Amino acid sequence: MKDEELYKKEEINSQKINIDVLPLLSKLYHGKLVVIIVTIIFIIVGIINAFTSDRDYTASEVVVPEQEQDMKSSLMNSLSSFMDLSSVAGSDEGAYNVTIFPEMATSKPFLASLLKCNVSPSPKSKIRKKTGKVNMSLYDYYTDSTRITTTEKVIGGIKKILHLEKKDSIGNINKIDNTHYTKQQEKLIKKMASSVDVVINKKTGITTISFTCDDPAVAQQIADTVSCRLQTMVINYKTLKAKEKLKYYTKISDEARIRLIKLQKKYAAAADENFFVELQSVKGNIDRIEQDAILAQEAYNTIEKQRISALMEVQDAKPVFVVLEPASYPNKANSSRAVKVIIYALLGFILSSAWAIFGSQLRTTWKRDWDVIKSNKTTKNENN
């Protein structure tokens, strides 16, 4: 009995679905002309957009920080025991840290510095064909008038007519104030921030650095530049303290060496001048100079060991990066023109189908509401 009841319920539900769907399909069939026309219009718009707008290309470089902490620590321990450098020790926090790559890559000063980079657009690019320039700054590439699309020109023209956009000077690109950016500079920096992408695998440390641009050659060049600059920034950041220590020990080591040389020369001169003198006062003075020279030698040896220790600390703190996959010239765009046309066609079909199914109902509702509003106005006028 239960099986029969379940079967009857399922049959009733399917009948309801058929009853609900059939009127919708009927409306869609009667409005097929509207659907076809609107879909064709959207396809035409999609084709125009696909062939007039620039396609984006993404170039990526894959780097991995090489962990040589154990090897360096063992090397430094052996040197420490050999030279009696008790202060030499490996870094506890590791030889690298790439987790700050994303923050560095999207910081405004870093992105502003990229605008000064020289790039060479591909020979087929519009900007190179029209201007004839082989090399230019990234800023000049982004702001060149030949790169403005038809859509941007139309929008820009409307803004000028309506006075919605004020002129804003970019200023000297080589003298960007990192504490105050103009509106044009902010706009370019935001565009750069959306073009740079840094993805880090936390387990392996493998880092993928990507840059997206409408020119494949520019995308490849800037991706490589971003990777190199990030590596340099991390190396400088990790070795800053050790370099300051090395600078200090180098300075006092040079001073100790100069003092030692002076005392050695002074002792040699005094010993030569008084070689045949037997006076105890003279011998005592020579012995004092000799002791000062010996102490200066010991001080210099100690400081020199500290300097060598600081030098090895700099090497120990320096991260080592291995480029697994260098940035290469991207031959394929991120999205094909056919995909754009298909998206426009689907959008046109969905919108026109929705209008064909629900349009008459919406028109009836709007007409009824409008009649109610008109009747209310008429009633108010009669009462007045």
Mean pLDDT of the chain: 77
pLDDT in tens, 154-174: 666 666 666 555 555 555 555
Q: Tell me which residue range forms the domain holding 290.
A: 57-325
Number of domains forming the structure of the chain: 2
In sequence order, which residues have a C-beta less than 8 Å from that of residue 83 and are 6 or more positions away? 305, 308
DSSP string, 267-324: HHHHHHHTTT---HHHHHHHHHHHHHHHHHHHHHHHHHHHHHHHHHHHHHH--EEEEE
Q: Per-residue pLDDT for 86 more than 60?
A: no
Over residues 273-295, mean pLDDT: 70
* pLDDT value, residue 69: 52
The answer to whether residues 39 and 163 belong to one domain is no
* pLDDT value, residue 44: 87
- Percent of the chain past pLDDT 70, that is, above it, reads 66
Q: What's the CA angle centered on 375, arms 369 and 380, to 5 degrees?
A: 130
Confidence of residue 381 (pLDDT cuts 50, 70, 90): low
- Percent of the chain past pLDDT 90, that is, above it, reads 20
In a domain, 352, yes or no: yes
User: Going edge to edge, which strands form the sheet with 207-213?
Assistant: 196-200, 207-213, 57-66, 320-325
Boundary-marking domain end, from 325, 350, 375:
325
CA gap 110, 5 in Å, rounded: 71
Over residues 213-231, mean pLDDT: 92
pLDDT in tens, 350-367: 888 887 777 666 667 776
| Helix/strand/coil percentages in the chain, nearest 5 | 70, 10, 25
Matching residue, tokens 């991995």: 64
The answer to whether residues 359 and 297 belong to one domain is no
* pLDDT value, residue 90: 42
H or E segment at 112?
helix 108-114
User: Using an 8 Å Cβ cutoff, are 75 and 57 in contact?
Assistant: no
CA gap 80, 84 in Å, rounded: 5
* pLDDT value, residue 379: 67
The answer to whether residues 237 and 378 belong to one domain is no
The answer to whether residues 349 and 309 belong to one domain is no
- Among 87-91, 158-162, 257-261, which stretch is predicted with the lowest mean pLDDT? 87-91
In a domain, 7, yes or no: no
199 three-state secondary structure: strand
In a domain, 372, yes or no: yes
Residue 94 Rama label (left phi>0; alpha psi -120 to 50; beta): left
